[in-house]
Chains A and B, each alone.
Chain A
Amino acid sequence: MPEALQLGWRQYRLERRMFWRNPSAAFFNFLLPLLVLASAGAILSGNQRDLDKLVPSIAGMSVMSTTFTALAYNVVFLRERGVLKRVRGAPLPAGSYFGGVAANAVTNTALQIAIVTVAGRVLFGLGWPAHWFELICFVLVGVVGFAMLGVAFAHAIPNFESTAAYVNAVFLPVVGVSFYAFDSTSAPGFIHTIADALPLKPLIDGVSAAMVGGADLGGHLDALAVIALWGALGAYLAVRGFSWEQSRT
């Protein structure tokens, strides 16, 4: 195995171990979306149309929380603690480090999508996803895009104490607008316009089509393009503004 890959693999294993040792992170990553799914599912139980909307929505939200939210938190925390600075001084290629960190986030997303898919099948009367390939494509592009946006957004957060406020100021409105637009065709036009321009609603559209049945990948290329564009913007900002150290101001 090439050395950079081997170091990336070691970094990944370390990130996994650290993730499971931090019970609150594990809770927010896994249990919270599942609790939302379970409680909303209980309320909507018996209404298959609503359940068909709920499961893909939660899946989309999971992608955002395991990548955007988790990485924004992580980067700010590690930067403020000086862990990033220490890593930077070590003979670890930046690609190996970020590869390991990203693979950790992807693992969490994959686990969550799997759990949500199984819950949809077992508890909420959905079938197995109709288009597996489409599901994987959307989740993959969504993961990369939201991960980049999370790292980019970390630059805007001044310190760890304010991370929750900053992240929620983005996460909650995006989730709210996207869920509303996805669920309701009667929502005002501007809501649809906003939601379609943001990356979450297109992701939910794609995941929904793949899971519940709808157009296959060819019918949702525009949605995929919106997510990819956000990802490209995120990647540009993530790389350009990246800081290994807390500024001293």
Chain B
Amino acid sequence: MIDTGPAIEVTALTKRYGDFEALRGVDIAVGRGEVFGLLGPNGAGKTTTVEILEGYRERSGGSVSVLGYDPARRPIELRRRIGIVLQSAGIYSQITPREALRHWAAMYPRPRDVEEVLALAGLADRADARARTLSGGQLRRLDFALALVGDPELIFLDEPTTGFDPEARRAAWETIRSLRALGKTIVLTTHYLDEAQALADRVAIIKDGRILAIGPPRDLGPGAAQYRVAWRNRDGELLERDTDDPTRMLHELTEQALQRGERLEDLSVGRPTLEDVYLELTADA
């Protein structure tokens, strides 16, 4: 069956826990083959959103479609086509990675080769170790491996690299990029800005259950069209000015500086980073 609609379509999604409104009308569309990042501070609603998409939670309102299915009904056909890396999920303490992957692989119609997945996750040399002897990072890689062994077309990663050392993080990024290259759709939540910037085709910034901004990382946010010129004045004070026309501003600045016989120390022209946008958007008013 070929279906070409978006991988995920979410409209006016709300979620209430008692009096607390965790999601207050979220709209998201994720295309096939896209890497979509959900970025936000703790408690913003990232995990609630993905867990509704994964079928763990029921929504209070709005409509949700994942690969054409309603995840709240938890159809097994949908579960066969998605892979889930939860923020934290356990495994039998006495199982080995190889046994776990074989066990999980048997649940899917077209699983990947277990040995290949072990190697991909960097667990080949720990394949026969009991899970209770694995390090935190190795267990996280086992989470990855278990999510990939069914060769899913859509993969959810809830803070996949939290707690990784820089090297393991780079390795995880490489894995995610290679999945993208295979045409997989990926939804990832993170509170690391560089992670969203490095991996995601599009990012949604979420706070207090609302999407504040959505788009490719490089042109996100209200000041997206602007450039920021910065320099130090004679007193060593750092000055910044935003402009749409950096050429003209530089020309004027340098002209004035030359007339005064000054140097513009630390002169730079930059675009607001995702971090600037993020901090601006999520700052409490």
Contacts and interface: CB of A to CB of B under 8 A. Distances in A.
Contact of B86 (A7, A21, A85, A91): A85
B90 A81 contact: yes
Nearest to A248: B17
Contacts of A21: 94, 130
B92 A18 contact: yes
A89 B86 contact: yes
B75 to A, nearest CB: 10
A90 B104 contact: yes
Contacts of B80: 91
Interface string B142-171: 000010001000000000000000000000
A82 B90 contact: yes
B106 interface: yes
23 contacts: A10-B103, A14-B92, A14-B95, A14-B103, A17-B94, A17-B99, A18-B92, A18-B94, A22-B93, A22-B94, A81-B90, A82-B89, A85-B56, A85-B89, A86-B84, A86-B89, A89-B56, A89-B79, A89-B84, A90-B107, A91-B80, A92-B107, A93-B76
Contact of A91 (B88, B89, B107): B107
B29 interface: no
Interface string B49-91: 0000011100000000000000000001001100010101111
Contacts of B91: 81, 83, 86
- With most chain B CB atoms within 10 A of its CB, the pick from A7, A81, A86 is A86
Nearest to A7: B107
B107 to A, nearest CB: 5
B173 interface: no
A83 B92 contact: yes
Contacts of B103: 10, 14
A7 B106 contact: yes
A10 B106 contact: yes
Contact of A89 (B54, B106, B130): B54
A5 to B, nearest CB: 13
Contact of B108 (A17, A22, A91): A91
Interface string A1-28: 0000001001000100110011000000
A7 B105 CA distance: 11
Contact of B79 (A14, A18, A91): A91
Contacts of B93: 22
Interface string B230-261: 00000000000000000000000000000000
Nearest to A80: B90
- With most chain A CB atoms within 10 A of its CB, the pick from B80, B86, B103, B150 is B103
Given A17-B99, A82-B86, 11 more contacts: A7-B106, A21-B94, A83-B92, A85-B89, A86-B86, A86-B90, A89-B79, A90-B79, A90-B107, A91-B80, A245-B56
A89 B94 CA distance: 21
B211 to A, nearest CB: 24
Given A82-B86, A86-B146, A91 B94 contact: no
Contacts of B88: 82
Contacts of A18: 92, 94-95
A18 B89 CA distance: 18
Contacts of B104: 90
Nearest to B106: A10
Contacts of A82: 86, 88-90
A83 B54 CA distance: 16
Contacts of A78: 90
Contacts of A90: 79, 104, 107
A95 to B, nearest CB: 11
B92 to A, nearest CB: 5
Contacts of A89: 54-56, 79, 84, 86, 89
A88 B90 contact: no
A240 B132 CA distance: 32
Interface in B86-134: 86, 88-95, 99, 103-104, 106-108, 130
A21 B96 CA distance: 11
A102 B92 CA distance: 17
A114 to B, nearest CB: 25
A51 to B, nearest CB: 38
